[in-house]
Every structure is written in structure tokens, then in C-alpha cells.
Structure 1
Amino acid sequence: MNYINLRKYYSETLGQSSLSVIHLENGVRTEFLNTRIPVEDRPVYLRLYVQGRQSWFEWSYDGEKYEKIGCIFDTTRFSDEYCKYGEFTGTMAGITCADRVKHAHYADFDFLEYVQEQGE
């Protein structure tokens, strides 16, 4: 399975809410802690940009001024041909919520928007 994930979570190390990028490539999980960003405990906008064969994440407090987080990923690695174990089911985008410790927290999402640029 191959994916990239931008998450907002509570960082025990930083002692506050943070954003970080996780990448899973053919069973190898990497969390890019060197690009982790501490954030205020308030709503944030999260955005995935896909441009040709490149993709990256951005975030914002106001939905107007975005900052890039993490690195640029090669989108060809999310294809049938690149998956080592044959579990590929198609490239997807979505929103998830996971509370793996207490199973008591939730997340509110106001919207998910897909915008295709002209010529893409």
C-alpha cells in the first residue's frame, strides 16, 4: 500500500497540536518529523496539490494564505505498476479521523472540495 497523509494530532513531544506528513511506500512508513509544524488548537485548512507527477500538502488558518508542509512526492508511485504487493485499488483522496489510543475523540470536517484546474 502506498499513500501520503497530512494529519493534525496532539504531539506528546511538542506538548501541543501539530501537523505532520506520513508516507507509506510498499510497507515502509516514514513520518517527516523534521517538517512537523506546531499549530494552535483551532480549525485549520488542509490542502493536497497535485500538479503533473508531483504532489504536496499545504495548510492554512484562514483558507487564504497557505504554507507548504513536507516534501514533494512523485505521484507515479501511487500507481498499479509501482505497488509491490498488489493491493492497489486506485488513487483516492479523502478525509479520515483516527483516535487509536482512547477511542473517545472525534473530528469535525466542514467540507471536502475537489477542484480540477483547467488543462489538467
Structure 2
Amino acid sequence: MRFLVSINAAPESATAQTSLEFTERLLQANHTITLLFFYADGVRNADSGSAISARWAALISQYSLTALCCSNSAAEHALTSAGSLTAGFEIGGIAQLTTTAAVDAERCVTFGTRTGHAAL
């Protein structure tokens, strides 16, 4: 099965750890990850200063995954490809998320919620 995994949880949270372990288990079970999408506080998982970023980077490298950080969220957290972004992560737009969800993924799993903003 093909999964899109969206991570909105801050790297220090138990939810971020769960999202990583869930992704590892999917891959070990021979499922496909079409996209890892980091959004809101989740983009901080891609910050080279976070403890979890190295584990994500190893998984991304091992399985040749696409790991995309929302450009707006990255800007909110001063995360740039020229700065503290961990190798293997990319910055892109939400359009890539919607295209992948609509075309490539059979399932979308989201970890965490966007806090501090009104619901749409």
C-alpha cells in the first residue's frame, strides 16, 4: 500500500517519535511512502539541531524517501535549505502535498495538529 505521512508534531513530542516509528514499521512491512510531509511545528523535525532529525535523515537516505517541509512553516521557524535544514529534507509548497495525496497515495496518515491557528 502507498502512504503519505504528514508530521505536524514538534520534534520533542511523543507524537513525533510515534510518527517516526510508524513510518519505520510501514517500510519494514514493504509498504511505500510516497511522501513525508512536515508541516507546522513538524518542520522542526528537519532542523539539524533537533535530536530526531538524524533518525529521519537516516530513514530518508536508506529508503530514498521524499521528505518535504512546508515552505510557509519553514519560514515561520527560520528553517532554510542554506541554513539548518538536515540533509535529505527539502522545502516545498503545499501543492506538492495535494498532488501526491490525490495521485500517488492510497492512504494519508497525519501525526499532530496545527496549534495556535483557527481551524479552516
TM-score by length of structure 2 reads: 0.26
More strand by share: 1
Of structures 1 and 2, the one with the larger relative CO (CA 8 A, separation 6+) is: 2
**Greater Rg by CA:** 1
TM-score by length of structure 1 reads: 0.26
More helix by share: 2
